[in-house]
């Protein structure tokens, strides 16, 4: 019998989950939980790099866990846990930091983007964020990591650290790869045409899994468009490409084909497109929002799922950490 591959991924507990999280990662979690050994966590340590409000952290962690479940993750199929409930990750993070170099960390695109225009208040956790992410993955010796396109540089760092450890101390870690079922890592565009949907950027340009029907319609109505095609089969502007990408994510193929043909024929009405896009987004988001709201009322069940998941994750993590410590010479009682 072929052994199932190990998959690891997590989402930070900052703010509300959005369509970028759903299509970039969670939708793949839903399929992979049935075919792989899966560890999906709530990344509360990662959220601390942006000075998380301590009074909000608990609520944020349980909200993300509730939204995981509301999207369809099954704790009987996949191991669901909170990052800080796994102390082995923090120790492996420490060990991997000894193999990481300041220069390579400073070149990570996401770090450069985060510090752009800043000269103070740049904490070490932000710099070594990719090392902690590598520890999250390598602690379970995962081979696949379902993430969005923006996380690809972090996966490269995880591979580098795995290779560096293996060369120096002997083989322990497979080199993990960013994975997408479609074969192409996804970046869900912002409604304002400026980059990707994000928890920290323009909230009116991001569709959250907790948004009301009316708010979704309002956000879609405000999405940036252009004057429309001036000739048949014209290329689309970036703003219109964004709307069509979102349409492809949430709408039926025949709906997409209808609007593609209307665009090519110069008969498209952006108001109609936006109305259809809003309807289909609401159909996706509403049941998740309502289920998550119900789950958040049952904190005791969420606690039980969290603790059970931590116990399962610890069994894997302890084995890996024990091997890593021994291979590095940290074995003084032998």
Q: Give yes or no: 112 in active site.
A: no
Whether residue 274 is annotated as binding a ligand: the answer is no
Rounded to 5°, the CA angle 163-100-42 comes to: 85
Cβ(45)–Cβ(90) below 8 Å: yes
Whether residue 168 is annotated as binding a ligand: the answer is no
Q: Give yes or no: 114 in active site.
A: yes
Whether residue 197 is annotated as binding a ligand: the answer is yes
For residues 163, 164, 165, 170, the Cα torsion angle rounded to the nearest 10 degrees is 70
Whether residue 24 is annotated as binding a ligand: the answer is no
Torsion angles phi and psi, residue 16, rounded to 5: -100, 150
Distance of alpha carbon 330 from alpha carbon 273, whole angstroms? 61
Whether residue 148 is annotated as binding a ligand: the answer is yes
Catalytic option among 112, 144, 194, 199: 199
Catalytic option among 102, 112, 187, 196: 196
Tokens describing residue 18: 């959005």
Kindly list the distances between the CA atom of residue 195 and the CA atoms of 24, 192, 205, 222, 319, in Å, as whole numbers in the listed order.
14, 8, 10, 16, 40
The sheet with strand 37-43 has its strands ordered as: 79-82, 37-43, 6-12, 144-146, 177-179
Q: Give yes or no: 196 in active site.
A: yes
Whether residue 326 is annotated as binding a ligand: the answer is no
Q: Based on the number of CB atoms within 10 Å of its own CB, is 156 exposed (0-12), middle (13-18) or buried (19 or more)? A: middle
Whether residue 199 is annotated as binding a ligand: the answer is yes
Whether residue 251 is annotated as binding a ligand: the answer is no
Residue 42 DSSP one-character state: E
Catalytic option among 102, 107, 112, 114: 114
Whether residue 198 is annotated as binding a ligand: the answer is yes
Whether residue 188 is annotated as binding a ligand: the answer is yes
Coil, helix or strand for 140? coil
Whether residue 37 is annotated as binding a ligand: the answer is no
Kindly list the distances between the CA atom of residue 188 and the CA atoms of 29, 249, 274, in Å, as whole numbers in the listed order.
17, 9, 17
Whether residue 150 is annotated as binding a ligand: the answer is yes
Cβ(186)–Cβ(24) below 8 Å: yes
Residues with catalytic annotation?
114, 196, 199
The annotated binding site is made up of: 12-14, 20-21, 136, 148-150, 188, 196-200
The annotated binding site for L-tryptophan is made up of: 136
The annotated binding site for ATP is made up of: 12-14, 20-21, 148-150, 188, 196-200
């Amino acid at each position: 019998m072929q052994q199932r591959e190990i998959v690891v991924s997590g989402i930070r507990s900052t703010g509300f989950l959005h369509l970028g999280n759903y299509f970039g990662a969670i939708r793949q979690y839903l399929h992979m939980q049935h075919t792989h050994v899966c560890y999906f966590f709530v990344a509360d340590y990662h959220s601390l790099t942006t000075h998380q409000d301590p009074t909000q952290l608990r609520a944020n962690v349980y909200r993300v866990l509730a939204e995981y479940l509301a999207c369809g993750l099954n704790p009987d199929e996949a191991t669901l846990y909170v990052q800080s409930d796994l102390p082995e990750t923090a120790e492996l993070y420490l060990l991997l930091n000894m193999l990481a170099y300041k220069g390579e960390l400073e070149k990570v695109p996401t770090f450069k983007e985060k510090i752009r225009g800043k000269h103070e208040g740049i904490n070490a956790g932000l710099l070594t964020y990719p090392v902690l992410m590598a520890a999250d993955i390598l602690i379970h010796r995962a081979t696949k990591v379902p993430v969005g396109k923006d996380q690809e540089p972090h996966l490269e760092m995880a591979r580098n650290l795995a290779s560096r450890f293996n060369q120096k101390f002997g083989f322990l870690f497979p080199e993990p790869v960013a994975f997408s079922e479609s074969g192409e890592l996804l970046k869900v565009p912002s409604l304002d045409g400026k980059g990707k949907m994000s928890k920290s950027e323009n909230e009116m340009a991001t569709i959250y899994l907790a948004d009301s029907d009316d708010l979704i319609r309002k956000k879609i109505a405000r999405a940036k468009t252009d004057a429309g095609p001036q000739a048949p089969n014209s290329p689309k502007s970036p703003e219109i490409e964004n709307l069509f990408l979102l349409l492809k994510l949430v709408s039926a193929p025949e709906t997409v084909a209808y609007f593609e043909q209307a665009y090519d024929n110069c008969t498209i009405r952006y108001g109609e497109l936006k109305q259809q896009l809003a309807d289909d987004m609401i159909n996706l988001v509403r049941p998740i929002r309502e289920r998550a709201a119900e789950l958040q009322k049952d904190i005791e069940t969420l606690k039980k799922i969290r603790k059970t998941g931590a116990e399962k994750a610890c069994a894997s993590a302890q084995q890996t950490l024990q091997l890593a410590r021994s291979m590095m010479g940290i074995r003084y009682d032998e």
